[in-house]
Homo-oligomer: A and B are copies of this chain.
């Protein structure tokens, strides 16, 4: 899906993403004031990711709430492709998922697509993806999901259940459709081509396990939407509801232009970074401030390009008033890069210390969460 200088596919996000354009291109509904207002009716105060438009689009959220009003509660489904350690951008999405789980008392299916990452990445073997999977799971558990209502699984460990359902999905997807949606070529391997069938299944796992048709809401980063465009066509043919979806923007990285580069780990704070390493990354972050302190004081900076501001906005400051204060200081040149970064670094270090302690405790809890055949 390439248009005007950016690419968003499940396997590649490049360029400066124009989210308005993506809404048109993907055929999404904007997460507008009306639907946010309706959500507020169930949850009280909205999560900051909603207030700030970090979750910016949806499919069928109104329908999902109609069902909820009729007493037909929904389940949640999200996932992670375990190709690396997690960074705070992943946690940002999942904290929002936890908020949804808490507010709606929803069962959550958390798919770890180790098969996908093995199939799509030449440089990863099955032991690599499995090892990343279990590392990633510690972060998920550390976020405090309800162990009674959260079901985490590796595709390879739940493959009997998944494959038996995936063939029902696969039978209803032609190569032509897969090619159009995902851009497959003659050189794509046949596991890649099949994979979307596996990713569709968790959207109806709760229906299977409950023996009735349970609505499903999928919070995801917008690059994963193509999988569910296909799944939404197929699931009604199997007797299930189309899953509803809520789409987030990407959290920017620390590099120039908000870049997060998978080949350069210094452009993101990983959950397992030693705090002093993370602090150093913040110290090297791109702020876009003026070349001299004098000029910065005079002209100010731009919070939209300042990755330090953006880290507060996306993850490290939930209070809108405080975010506005930080942005305003940046705009007015009232804070210089050194102090700005030092403040954030302190916040990051504190967060990592706490989160890493929770990760340690999570090690003893993994089995409570896992689904396996």
Contact = CB atoms under 8 A, between A and B. Distances in A.
Interface of A: 115, 118-119, 126, 156-157, 159-160, 162-164, 166-168, 170-176, 178-179, 184-194, 196-197, 373
Scoring A163, A174, A176, A184 by chain B CB atoms within 10 A of each residue's CB, the highest score goes to A163
Nearest to A173: B190
A166 to B, nearest CB: 8
Q: Which 3 A-B pairs have the closest CB atoms?
A: A170-B191, A194-B194, A176-B186
Interface of A is mostly: helix
A191 B174 contact: no
Nearest to A168: B126
A175 B170 contact: no
A171 B186 contact: no
Contacts of A184: 175
Nearest to A120: B171
B119 A171 contact: yes
Contacts of A194: 170, 190-191, 193-194
A327 to B, nearest CB: 46
B190 A178 contact: yes
Nearest to A373: B160
Contact of A170 (B167, B173, B179, B189): B189
B163 A159 contact: yes
Contacts of A175: 175, 184-190, 193
A115 B176 CA distance: 21
12 contacts: A118-B167, A119-B167, A156-B163, A156-B167, A160-B160, A170-B191, A172-B189, A174-B186, A174-B187, A178-B190, A190-B197, A194-B194
A190 B193 contact: yes
Nearest to A160: B160
A227 to B, nearest CB: 12
A174 B187 CA distance: 5
Given A159-B160, A170-B190, 19 more contacts: A126-B167, A156-B163, A156-B167, A157-B160, A160-B373, A162-B163, A163-B163, A167-B191, A170-B189, A171-B189, A174-B186, A174-B189, A175-B175, A175-B188, A175-B190, A190-B197, A191-B194, A193-B194, A194-B194
